[in-house]
Amino acid sequence: MYNKKILLVDDDADDQLLFMDAVQEVDMMLQCEIANNGIEALHHLHKMPPPPVIIFLDLNMPLMNGFECLETIRKEKRFSGIPVIIFTTSNNPADHERAKKLGANDFFTKTADFKELKAKLHQFLKTES
Amino acid sequence: MHNSQHSSESEQQELERVENLRQVNIQLAQAQQIAHIGSWQWDVAENKINWSDELYRINGLSKNAFTPEYESYLNCSHPDDRELVNQTMQKAYVNHQPFSFLHRIIRPDGEERFIHSRGEVFTDDKKATIKMTGTAQDVTEEKQAALHLVQLNKQLLERNNELLRSNTELASFSYVASHDLQEPLRKIKAFLSRILDKEEQIFSSTTKDYFNRITTAASRMQNLIEALLSYSRTNTSEIDFKPTDLNILIEEVLLNLQDTIEEKRAIITLAPLPVLNIIPLQFHQLLTNIISNAIKYSRLDMQLQINITAVIIAAKEIKTEPALANEKYWKISIADNGIGFEQQYEHKIFELFQRLHGKSEYTGTGIGLAICKKIMQNHSGFINATGQPGIGATFNIYLPLIAL
């Protein structure tokens, strides 16, 4: 059965909507879970098996930011293998560097171009399947 | 007869001597008055103190109403300085050492004056002090001028610090503002494109027109914010100076602009360029901005030509900049045969958000040349431009000539 799911961790409602629209258009069967911050993300991971095939993680979030969330995910053995793509407005090289060190697989700067969003999403999902 | 003649001759001589002495005394008094230096003598053996006229004047005292004594001399001093005066005098008296020090006095009318006192001690062959003599110079004006200068210096320093602070604040403000402004704009553009994707077929022609106008305005705002962001970035990041071959750098710039250069069929001629110690990224942007401008403001009825040259020039030959720190400069000129500009607008074009043309005539943010100006400031250089309407414009950038 087809029950692949992905997890978006982002507190921005607009970006959640755009992201889900893009996921729908890329793969109608794909399930997209949403977490509003790092704490919710960890909650999702623990309470909702099977784990997502890929996590898109914003950096600037309340309660627990992307860096802390990433660090925690990488520490836990059963989640350490899940690809994490940093999904953020920041194109600060220092943030890239820090995320990479903490175990992020790639960096995806939020775009105004919906077609680009879809194309990138398609590319990331293809690599994961 | 003979005798009386002799006597009157010596009387004559005596009179002349007295007259000479009187003249010398007058001269001395005048000199003291002009220099604001009074003098005193203290005959220790007879305990007699004598003040010059100028010393009375300096202390604001009248010769008739005041008898100079050691105690009364001390009483003329500022209460806070009295101990200093007393100790200095005592020490000089005991050690037979000359002295020179600064103190304040208070005149009977309450006016405070600064006095530079100097003095010497005379002893007999048994090393006993027999006489002290000294001068007192009124240095109030000099002292006040010096104090004023110190105050001015302090104010200048404070103002400099304030300026530095507000500059830094402004830089971080414009960075944060432009960065944060990008966010809502990105969403506006994203949702605009979503509406267009989904609903374009059912748009009325009016809606389509309005929609296009919104999209154009959003794109323009995006350009403005990006330009503002790069303007504020020239403040903060990337300050690595590296010896850079301008011949290679310009090739990279031209390669980036290849599409627009080909579109305009521009002819670009390059003279050999120097290797300079510069911030490569910033210089890349500088040359890109200037060449893009030449392309943008080209004439439609003529093939665009851009000539890039480099010469070494003496500072004194640069008439537009009066006070230059270095003796020699590299002058790199980018000349075009485009629409040019009126020379009176030269300074305007380098200011932020200054445009000479309407937005509908030529696109642009009014930030490009302001960035160029800033970049040249970062390099301890400067930029200027000459133009003639309908004939062309030349942008000159000047960099101090220094050994690499």
Per-residue model confidence as pLDDT tens digits over B81-140: 999 999 999 999 899 999 999 999 999 999 999 999 999 999 988 888 899 999 999 999
Answer whether residue A1 shows pLDDT above 70.
Answer: no
DSSP state of B104: E
Answer whether residue B282 shows pLDDT above 80.
Answer: yes
Cβ separation B190–A115 shorter than 8 A: no
SS3 of chain B: helix, strand, coil, percent, to 5: 50, 20, 25
Nearest to A116 by CA among A11, A25, A52: A25
C-alpha distances in Å from residue B387, one per residue of A101, B136, B335: 53, 67, 9
CB B224 within 8 A of CB B368: no
Is A18 in CB contact (< 8 Å) with chain B?
yes
Query: Do strands A84-88 and A54-57 pair parallel, antiparallel, or not at all (unpaired)?
Result: parallel
Chain B residues within an 8 Å CB radius of A10: none
**Looking at chain A, which residue has its C-alpha nearest residue B195?**
A114
pLDDT at B150: 94
| B294-332 confidence digits (pLDDT tens) | 998 998 888 999 999 999 998 888 877 767 778 889 999
**Is residue B3 very low, low, confident or very high in pLDDT (cuts 50, 70, 90)?**
low
Nearest to B39 by CA among B56, B55, B63: B55
pLDDT at B60: 92
CA B267/CA B253 separation, integer angstroms: 15
Cβ separation B183–A89 shorter than 8 A: yes
Cβ-based contacts under 8 A for chains A and B:
31
Sign of CA dihedral B7, B12, B16, B22: positive
| B164-222 confidence digits (pLDDT tens) | 888 777 777 777 777 778 888 899 999 998 998 889 899 999 999 999 999 888 888 88
CA B26/CA B4 separation, integer angstroms: 32
Is B221 in CB contact (< 8 Å) with chain A?
no
DSSP state of B77: B
- Its pTM stands at 0.54
Q: Give residue B245's Cα distance to chain centre.
A: 33
pLDDT at B4: 56
Angle, CA of B124, B130 and B133, to the nearest 5°: 120
pLDDT at B336: 94
CB B383 within 8 A of CB B334: no
**Looking at chain A, which residue has its C-alpha nearest residue B215?**
A112
| B241-267 confidence digits (pLDDT tens) | 889 999 999 999 999 888 889 888 899
What 3 state SS string does chain A have?
A: CCCCEEEEECCCHHHHHHHHHHHHHHCCCCEEEEECCHHHHHHHHHHCCCCCCEEEECCCCCCCCHHHHHHHHHHCHHHCCCCEEEEECCCCHHHHHHHHHCCCCEEEECCCCHHHHHHHHHHHHHHHC
Dihedrals φ, ψ of B310, to 5°? -140, 130
**Looking at chain A, which residue has its C-alpha nearest residue B182?**
A89
Nearest to B39 by CA among B54, B25, B24, B26: B54
Give mean pLDDT, residues A102-110.
90
Cβ separation A18–B186 shorter than 8 A: no
Is A89 in CB contact (< 8 Å) with chain B?
yes
Smallest Cβ–Cβ distance between A113 and the set B182, B183, B193 belongs to B193
pLDDT at B105: 94
Answer whether residue B392 shows pLDDT above 50.
Answer: yes
pLDDT at B346: 84
pLDDT at B250: 94
| A52-83 confidence digits (pLDDT tens) | 989 999 988 888 888 999 999 998 888 888 99
CB A52 within 8 A of CB A82: yes
Q: What is this model's ipTM?
A: 0.80
CB B109 within 8 A of CB B122: no
pLDDT at B361: 64
CB atoms within 10 A of CB B132: 22
Chain B residues within an 8 Å CB radius of A18: 187, 190-191, 194
Q: Name residues whose C-beta falls within 8 Å of residue B277's C-beta, 6 or more positions apart in sequence.
A: B241, B242, B243, B244, B402, B404
CB B273 within 8 A of CB B247: yes
CA B275/CA B281 separation, integer angstroms: 15
Chain B residues within an 8 Å CB radius of A121: none
What DSSP line would sit under B303-347, residue for residue? --EEEEEEEEEEGGG-TT-S--SSSEEEEEEEEE-SS---GGGTT
Q: Which residue has the higher pLDDT, B127 or A128?
A: B127
Is A91 in CB contact (< 8 Å) with chain B?
no
Q: Which residue has the higher pLDDT, A92 or B238?
A: A92
Smallest Cβ–Cβ distance between B186 and the set A21, A110, A115 belongs to A110
CA B74/CA A29 separation, integer angstroms: 104
CB atoms within 10 A of CB B108: 12
With b for 16 or more beta-carbon neighbours within 10 A and e for fewer, the B259-280 pattern comes to eebeebebebeeeebbebebbb
Name the most confidently modeled range: A109-118, B150-159, B337-346. Answer: B150-159
Is A111 in CB contact (< 8 Å) with chain B?
yes
Q: Which residues pair with B276 in a beta bridge?
A: B244
Answer whether residue B360 shows pLDDT above 70.
Answer: no
**Minimal C-alpha gap between A77 and chain B (Å):** 36
Smallest Cβ–Cβ distance between B193 and the set A14, A110, A114 belongs to A114
Nearest to B235 by CA among B290, B180, B160, B175: B175
**Minimal C-alpha gap between A111 and chain B (Å):** 7
**Is residue A84 very low, low, confident or very high in pLDDT (cuts 50, 70, 90)?**
very high
What's the token pair of residue B125?
A: 């062959």
Q: Which residue has the higher pLDDT, B54 or A49?
A: B54
Answer whether residue B236 shows pLDDT above 70.
Answer: no
Cβ separation B186–A89 shorter than 8 A: yes
Averaged confidence pLDDT in chain B: 87
What's the token pair of residue A81?
A: 């293998």
Nearest to B393 by CA among B377, B372, B376: B372
CA B222/CA A128 separation, integer angstroms: 34
**Looking at chain A, which residue has its C-alpha nearest residue B193?**
A114
Give mean pLDDT, residues A100-105.
90
